[in-house]
Amino acid sequence: MSYIDGFVIAVPNANRARFITHAGTFDPIFLELGAIRVMECWGEDVPDGKLTDFRRAVQATPDESVVFSWIEWPDKATRDVGMEKFMKDPRMEAAADCPFDGKRMIFGGFTPVVSVPDRP
């Protein structure tokens, strides 16, 4: 079964086009390094919760949207090698002009336990 890297970030609404360009620059690199798929999803229906929610998790301000993203890898071994190469890739220098505050990004690696329909 695959391995998933998940991310939640707050992106200023004014930077939506810059974010899409940023993703268009970096997401193909993940595919080069073995990822199966990369998804970048701009929040449209992200409600405030009573105890916790996506907006609070990334300290989103009223002028920011929550972006939920994930990278699907064939397995954790491919992900580990791919992410190591990604972090050393000279193209990463362009990430300094990031359209969001990376300090407020939350992320993690996940092993799927249920997949419908099931995919190997």
**Domain boundaries along the sequence of the chain:** 3-110
Output phi, psi for 49, to 5 deg. Answer: -95, 170
Average pLDDT of the chain to the nearest whole number: 94
For residue 100, give the 3-state DSSP assignment.
coil
Please report the pLDDT score of residue 96 as a whole number.
Answer: 75
What is the number of other CB atoms lying within 10 angstroms of the CB of residue 40? 19
Q: Please write the tens of the pLDDT for every residue from 23-51.
A: 999 999 999 999 999 999 999 999 999 99
Give the angle subtended at the CA of 82 by the CAs of 76 and 25, to the nearest 5°: 130
Tell which wins on pLDDT, 115 or 84: 84
Q: Which CATH number fits domain 3-110: 3.30.70.100, 2.30.30.40, 3.30.70.20, 2.70.150.10?
A: 3.30.70.100
Please report the pLDDT score of residue 119 as a whole number.
Answer: 65
Instruction: Identify whether the C-beta of residue 82 lies closer than 8 Å to the C-beta of residue 33.
Output: yes
Tell which wins on pLDDT, 115 or 17: 17
